[in-house]
Structure 1
Amino acid sequence: LLQSHFTSLHPLTVFYLVGIPSLPESLFLPVFFIFLLFYLLILTGNALILVAVVIEPSLHKPMYFFLINLSALDILFTTTTVPKMLSLFLFGDHFLSFSSCLLQMYLFQSFTCSEAFILVVMAYDRYVAICRPLHYLALMTPQTNAALASSAWLTALLLPIPAVVKTSQMVYDNIEFHYFIRSFLLKKKTCMAKKSLKPHILLGLYLSARLDSDLCLTSITWLLRSFCSSVTSQLSSLSFCTIAVCLLTTSSGAGEFSGLGAAIASKPPVPLHIYSLDSLLLPISCNETEESWTIFYLVGIPSLPKSLFLPIFFIFLLLYLLILVGNALILVAVVIEPSLHKPMYFFLINLSALDILFTTTTVPKMLSLFLCGDRYLSFPACFLQMYLFHSFSCSEAFILVVMAYDRYVAICRPLHYPALMTPQTIAALAASAWLTALLLPIPAVVQTSHMAFENTAHIYHCFCDHLAVVQASCSDTSPQTLMGFCIAMVVSFLPLLLVLLSYAHILASVLHGRSKAFSTCSSHLLVVGTYYSSIAIAYVAYRADLPLDFHIMGNVVYALLTPVFNPLIY
């Protein structure tokens, strides 16, 4: 509802995130890796807390129930902003649609409020445990715990709505952003009268940043009074509160620091404009000057009604989670199990890593498109996505060839297998597959980047596929289409030919009495069949006289089918 409201208000508005204005571009990559490291620590640490509390019966207590709520909030809170920051620093992806911007702001403020209220509930839990220990079991029942947690979540989800809706109705001139959208920063540079905003801003800041602190301090005051009345008996119980107090101090301190920084920043160092697509669409002809800049607009699936966007989002999200979890389990199993430290499984973890990277290149943007309506990609972000998508696709084809060669040596030359498939050899084979695939798409990507595009180029696809980007250009597309077709033939049919050649020798050996060893090839054959079936679907959808939607869906099937089935097969 919020998304449709925002879209109807500003259907043609694009936001440009400046990031950290004074940060030189040479530091973007180090900052990206620092943020990525922190993000992975947040995800891993909080996921471990969730798993530990769920599977360990001794932790099924109110205190730990609220703790897993806090961990889930930390994951959601950071996922709202950090992926976009990573995309900004790695890809130079500065653009956000209006609905995505406001949705990010709403989720950021909601999860901030939720964390504050969960800390209040945790403080109340410790108050009851220490000040009224005999009544603890009667007061903190499962129903009460669920009601307290639900109230914290619901209140926080509702509280930012008025501020976000009011902000969406403003008229903007110049806006200063950091690397995600905050309500205060939007209001700060609006061209409406600022005096009318002050009560609204102050009330929002108090409810989201001060009210929870005041309630927590009240609980701590009662705890200290109880502690002073019976020091000996309460000493051990008070130790459980130290973590909650540390969390409160960290959360409130960060909030106060952020609020203070926003309040004292009186002049933005770099002006920022909200760009309207009305102005971007004025130049009809291609602008080939060096000063021109291009953003790409992902049309998605043109005839798909908006009422199906949410179901499609959940389907893609489910498939993406299956890919991540399934392939991650394969990686962990092979690494920690010594009996799987064999060449076949070494190539398998390369395949699993590729599946994760291959889908992560495209699926998050598709999810953002269907959920948030975030259709914009900057020029470097689009071409980097195109390059990575085709590189990882090529890598998968060559890894399948290497796996076929491994099975050929194992079955046709079993006595020479340990001598031929040494650790150095298998590392060289895997590295060659990766390196060849990383180099092969470069000419096509570079040549395509030199084509002329309108200021806003419409890509009829869910991601930046090479052919779709070429067709969005207003240059002559014939040379690039031919180059893409030739590379596709090399990547598709040369590996297939090598795989078939390996299995021809394997079948010849099987006919001479080695049928038992052939059973080790079944999984690989299924994966090869799935991979080339997805390529066939994409090719038929492109070559057949079918509507554009079928062409797009053929490529989407190609991007998802193999990564979903690989972990299921193995």
Structure 2
Amino acid sequence: MRNQTFVAEFLLLGLSKGLKIRLLLFGLFSVTYAITLVGNSIILMLIWLDPRLHKPMYFFLSHLAFVDICYTSSTVPQMLVNLQNPRQTIALAGCVVQMYVFLVLATTECILLAVMAYDRYVAICHPLHYTFLMNKRVCMKLAVATWMSGLLLPVAHTVLTWRLPFCGPNLIDHFFCEMPALLKLACADTKIVEKVTSVGCIFTLLIPISFILMTYIRILVSVLKIQSAQGQHKAFSTCVSHVSVVVLFYGSAIFMYMRPESSHSPSQDKMVSLFYSIVIPLFNPIIYSLKNRDVKEALIKILQRCRRFCLSSGKHEMPN
């Protein structure tokens, strides 16, 4: 009986039971989701179209934008459906698949942010060797390693969760199938899954954030050795966007997965999940466009091209 599944589907309780609040949240998150997709798509388009952005830093930024599009898409559509129909159920298989996809993308983003920190370290601490150390082949290998790590690291606790028996109730007090909320419904000992998850957090959270901290300590030491204030400002400005994203993403992820089980509450977990699954993917393109001069210049250049194209098209369409 240990591997038998008694519950075939789950009901996501979502964020609110009130009709007016659900309609308000549906409109709010629909707009947020649309802006997130458009913002990250613009980042991808700019990096693809502008030759000045064909650099390792922006190569990894394009991967971050793609991860954020997939990341928010793994939860928001399901949440919007549930806001319209709160009795909408999700099968156990679909729930586990959603959980795995979410963990894959979260893990990939964690490791990708560490890779981006390494890129900044090489650019600032070893500028003369940057082209050699971060050539196209190296960047491709780092990107492949990042995605492979993201795909493989969540496999163990996903399989273990899949094998747990769920006897009921089948009500998940969340807006998507996140692991902590799902484990609460298992009618078996979940200590093994929790231990595997803790080990996974070491590889996906603690090791990458430790690497990022050590990297930025080295960067700080190198920058302080620069004689001119202008040179220091230029070096720091290339790191501001990345540091902002790291603080937002890792702060919320560590708070969610590394705090004691006794301190978890459904309402608090949902608010934290909303922040790192919806708000952060929305903010990332804004942070990089506002803090990065190259991205702003590329955006202005594209807008000017579009304006000239529209004006020239309008002149051709005017009657003689």
List per-residue Cα deviations over 1:120-155 (Å, max 9, x = no partner).
xxxxxxxxxxxxxxxxxxxxxxxxxxxxxxxxxxxx
CA separation of 1:542 and 1:565: change in aligned 2, threshold 3 A:
farther
Q: Which one of 468, 471, 483 corresponds to residue 181 of structure 2?
A: 468
Query: Deviation of residue 482 (structure 1)?
Result: 2.5
Where 1:472 maps in the other structure, the secondary structure is coil
Query: Deviation of residue 446 (structure 1)?
Result: 0.3
Asked if 2 retains the 8 angstrom alpha-carbon contact of 1:298 and 1:461, the reply is: yes
Query: Deviation of residue 420 (structure 1)?
Result: 0.8
Q: Which amino acid aligns with 2:50?
A: E
CA separation of 1:506 and 1:556: change in aligned 2, threshold 3 A:
same
Q: Which amino acid aligns with 2:119?
A: D
Structure 1 window deviating more from structure 2 (486-495 vs 405-414): it is: 486-495
Q: Which amino acid aligns with 1:298?
A: L
TM-score (norm 2): 0.82
2:263 equivalent to 1:550 = no
CA separation of 1:455 and 1:540: change in aligned 2, threshold 3 A:
closer
2:144 equivalent to 1:431 = yes
Aligned residue for 1:389? 102
Inter-partner Cα distance in structure 1 for 2:82 and 2:18: 13
Inter-partner Cα distance in structure 1 for 2:207 and 2:160: 23
Q: Which one of 199, 202, 219 corresponds to residue 506 of structure 1?
A: 219
List per-residue Cα deviations over 1:254-289 (Å, max 9, x = no partner).
xxxxxxxxxxxxxxxxxxxxxxxxxxxxxxxx8954
Counting only pairs closer than 5 Å after superposition, residues 27-106 of structure 1 correspond to structure 2 as: none
Aligned residue for 1:372? 85
Inter-partner Cα distance in structure 2 for 1:466 and 1:453: 14
Where 1:463 maps in the other structure, the secondary structure is coil
Aligned residue for 1:241? none
Aligned residue for 1:281? none
Aligned residue for 2:284? 566
Q: Which one of 272, 284, 294 corresponds to residue 8 of structure 2?
A: 294
2:51 equivalent to 1:333 = no
List per-residue Cα deviations over 1:80-130 (Å, max 9, x = no partner).
xxxxxxxxxxxxxxxxxxxxxxxxxxxxxxxxxxxxxxxxxxxxxxxxxxx
Query: Deviation of residue 542 (structure 1)?
Result: 7.1
Aligned residue for 1:525? 243
Structure 1 unaligned runs (5+)?
1-285
Query: Deviation of residue 314 (structure 1)?
Result: 1.3
Q: Which one of 323, 335, 343 corresponds to residue 36 of structure 2?
A: 323
Inter-partner Cα distance in structure 1 for 2:125 and 2:32: 38
Inter-partner Cα distance in structure 1 for 2:2 and 2:261: 31
Where 1:297 maps in the other structure, the secondary structure is strand
Q: Which amino acid aligns with 1:317?
A: S
Aligned residue for 2:316? none
Structure number with greater Rg is: 1
Aligned residue for 2:159? 446
Aligned residue for 2:300? none
Aligned residue for 2:307? none
Inter-partner Cα distance in structure 2 for 1:547 and 1:477: 18
Query: Deviation of residue 316 (structure 1)?
Result: 1.3
Query: Deviation of residue 375 (structure 1)?
Result: 3.0
Inter-partner Cα distance in structure 1 for 2:8 and 2:2: 9
Query: Deviation of residue 453 (structure 1)?
Result: 1.2
Asked if 1 retains the 8 angstrom alpha-carbon contact of 2:201 and 2:257, the reply is: no
Query: Deviation of residue 328 (structure 1)?
Result: 0.3
Q: Which one of 356, 363, 384 corresponds to residue 69 of structure 2?
A: 356
Inter-partner Cα distance in structure 2 for 1:528 and 1:362: 21
Identity of aligned residues (%): 37
Structure 1 window deviating more from structure 2 (448-457 vs 411-420): it is: 448-457
Where 2:77 maps in the other structure, the secondary structure is helix
Inter-partner Cα distance in structure 2 for 1:562 and 1:293: 33
Where 1:531 maps in the other structure, the secondary structure is helix
Where 2:139 maps in the other structure, the secondary structure is helix
CA separation of 1:288 and 1:403: change in aligned 2, threshold 3 A:
closer
2:92 equivalent to 1:417 = no
Q: Which amino acid aligns with 2:33?
A: Y
Q: Which one of 496, 504, 508 corresponds to residue 209 of structure 2?
A: 496
Where 2:182 maps in the other structure, the secondary structure is helix
Asked if 2 retains the 8 angstrom alpha-carbon contact of 1:541 and 1:550, the reply is: no
TM-score (norm 1): 0.47
Question: Relative contact order: is structure 1 or structure 2 higher (C-alpha 8 Å, sep ≥ 6)?
Answer: 2
Asked if 1 retains the 8 angstrom alpha-carbon contact of 2:11 and 2:87, the reply is: no
List per-residue Cα deviations over 1:20-68 (Å, max 9, x = no partner).
xxxxxxxxxxxxxxxxxxxxxxxxxxxxxxxxxxxxxxxxxxxxxxxxx
Q: Which one of 304, 307, 319 corresponds to residue 20 of structure 2?
A: 307
Inter-partner Cα distance in structure 2 for 1:323 and 1:312: 16
Consecutive aligned runs of 4 or more in structure 1 exceeding 4 Å deviation:
286-290, 539-547
